[in-house]
Structure 1
């Protein structure tokens, strides 16, 4: 793309948002990061500025979007995970506030929302987050390498108790599925822990982030006055990866045409490539989609 675009990124500091900002700047686009406390400078060279705005301030955000001369707005908003009991409510309110602000503004460029994998459909017409025993069943199916990634990520983010939980989950599953000589000695504890894990991983509070992302998709389905598209990352999304520039995109529907997103993954860096390609090419207006790419190229 030869023309430089001016793009607003709502939530530029998160693992998805920061990769999108990097990719936009690397292609010569101008980026405005918008959040409560956005970075005022960016490590990667390019045209970047930060504008502070609380997403609860619908009028304030609407004014920024009206006056920003943006070609595209990307929402990488996600509620903080400090209090799991409040994640769903905060997330739904945040996505709803962003929708009201953007529709009340004079901005009418393209709008890309980054949601969650739970919205993707199986071929039998059931969304991932509505599958039986979600999300315990789907954690149990993850390969060891993805559980290793998840635990490392939790420790990196200072969530040591969650990281330890994931390591114990991996050990207990291995004790049950791949028993060694002395596995039977610890089998009662492994079974007890997996029972506890199932109880915790199927609680509404635990899947609040995934459910609020599904609610965000519901907010936009059927809306025609805005050129939106909704990206659900694949189930095995990983950060701190490698930018290969390779990906496949899949448009989702109730027939399960994007089921690859449930079975596969992508690095955030390559997902950012797919997002910025959509910024430039606008192939997926009014579509719900996912993208998959190579993973396992690093330690995880």
Structure 2
């Protein structure tokens, strides 16, 4: 670390934002968490403080950013998943409000925006979220260990219904792909559930988080008033992992130069390392990028 930085983290309580705060504090930086109700103190030692601000208050957020004497800003905003039908609208509004607040403020330092994997391009020029049968086909291709991770994550977040859906999806896929002696008895039930899953996972309300994150990317493309970079996590992003400090950066374009991120993953802890490295070095100015690293190093 060349010098101690003062960094604002928008959305410090989420799985990405919390790991970024941890990583910043571990390197001796000063952190200010900004959200509707940020933690007043942090569970790990370091110079941390919270400033409450509703992101719908563009003027208020703009003033905080103007007056905060920040060296860098990380936007880890994500809409709540409590109402899936409202996720897209709330997400687009939130990302848009943050953009307007930043551009209306006096802050012009490095900015890292965390989006979603759906924005990444295949080599055929199609974005992941526009691929045929998204997201059913892509869930179907996930390894069992990632489905186990997803169900565990949903239980942790109190979303037992979604966790049960994921476990049933895993069972139904296994019934079809790896039949056992008596699997034919349950084959009709597995087929019916997979048909239901296809309808559910391709419905627009289920894709709200992915699509609003893609919209956030389009909001920043072409903007030159501040030195932003936009991170789309890889498709198999996992939290509660292991910090190895190892990662690879892939800069994205319409020719699919970051396609590797679609088929691979990273732990949130290592993605936070990549984010804080970018905060300190600011090498990806005006770039869309992803990062990948080792996963599968622990059981779920």
Q: Same fold (TM over 0.5)?
A: yes
**Structure 2: stretches of 5+ with no match in the other structure:** none
Alignment of 1:160-179 (within 5 A): 160-179=160-179
Alignment of 1:1-300 (within 5 A): 1-300=1-300
2: CA distance, partners of 1:156 / 1:17: 17
Partner of 1:206: helix, strand, or coil? helix
Output the TM-score relative to the length of structure 1.
0.99
2: CA distance, partners of 1:156 / 1:20: 20
Partner of 2:228: helix, strand, or coil? strand
2: CA distance, partners of 1:2 / 1:120: 32
Output the TM-score relative to the length of structure 2.
0.99
**Structure 1: stretches of 5+ with no match in the other structure:** none
2: CA distance, partners of 1:98 / 1:119: 19
Query: C-alpha offsets along residues 21-78 of structure 1, whole Å, 9 cap, x if unaligned?
Result: 0000000100000000000101111110000000000000000000000011100000
**Per-residue deviation, 1:2:** 2.5
Partner of 1:31: helix, strand, or coil? strand
2: CA distance, partners of 1:142 / 1:260: 15
2: CA distance, partners of 1:191 / 1:254: 36
1: CA distance, partners of 2:2 / 2:263: 36
Moved over 4 A (4+): none
2: CA distance, partners of 1:136 / 1:168: 14
Query: C-alpha offsets along residues 101-133 of structure 1, whole Å, 9 cap, x if unaligned?
Result: 000000010111000000000000000000000
Partner of 2:230: helix, strand, or coil? strand
**Per-residue deviation, 1:143:** 0.1
How many residues align? The count is: 300
Partner of 1:205: helix, strand, or coil? helix
Query: C-alpha offsets along residues 211-269 of structure 1, whole Å, 9 cap, x if unaligned?
Result: 00000000000101110000000000000000000000100001101011100000000
1: CA distance, partners of 2:55 / 2:156: 27
1: CA distance, partners of 2:94 / 2:234: 22
Q: For the aligned residues, what is the CA RMSD? A: 0.5
Partner of 2:34: helix, strand, or coil? strand
2: CA distance, partners of 1:43 / 1:208: 31
2: CA distance, partners of 1:266 / 1:95: 24
Query: C-alpha offsets along residues 172-224 of structure 1, whole Å, 9 cap, x if unaligned?
Result: 00000011111111111100000000000000000000000000000000101
2: CA distance, partners of 1:289 / 1:251: 4
